[in-house]
Amino acid sequence: MKVILTQSHFKLGSAGDVITVKDGYARNYLIPRKFAIPATPGNMKQVEQIRRRQMTIEQKRKEKMQILAEKLSRVSVDLVVEVDEEDKLFGTVTTGQIADALQRRGFDIDRKQIIIDEPIDSLGVYNVKIDLHPEVECAVRVWILKHEH
């Protein structure tokens, strides 16, 4: 069955795309949840309108993420960790720990958006990349500090 996506779907495509899916998937999932509409001749005329609306939504989202990226690029967070006698961490710093530290600073960043290129396993300062949007990324400075007993 041919359907028109009414909103972007990470596996299927962008809003306004005409795709072919199995009949049951379209009837039982996509159409009832308003992810898609049947690709009838009348609905095909709406494709351009759907695409324009989606582009406007996406542009506003991108602009919000650019503003957030500017704020985040000026932020640094401290993580206090346990270390051994040679100042080596027990384990490595995780994206969840960084997300929690950012949450405490008032930034709601999902841990999946945080990219750690190389394992953080010693004390120091690291620049950690955050993917906010496919076209917007920034870096946050993360200070790894020793827990004093």
What is the C-alpha to C-alpha distance for residues 35 and 62, in angstroms, rounded to an integer? 21
Give, for all 149 residues of the chain, the pLDDT tens digit: 999 998 888 789 888 889 999 999 999 999 999 999 999 988 888 888 888 888 898 899 999 999 999 999 999 999 998 888 888 888 889 999 999 999 999 999 999 999 999 899 889 999 999 999 888 999 999 999 988 76
Same-domain pairing of 124 and 91:
yes
- 23-53 as b/e: b if 16+ CB within 10 A: eeebeeebbeeebbbebeeebeeebeebbee
Same-domain pairing of 27 and 82:
no
Phi and psi at 14, nearest 5°, equal -95, 160
Same-domain pairing of 140 and 103:
yes
Number of domains comprising the chain: 2
pTM of the model: 0.70
Tell which residue, 112, 116, 111, 136, has the closest CA to residue 127: 116
CATH number at residue 17: 3.40.5.10
Judge whether 57 lies within some domain: no
Note down the domain range covering 14.
2-45
Question: Which residues does 118 contact at the CB level (< 8 Å), separation at least 6?
Answer: none
Judge whether 20 lies within some domain: yes
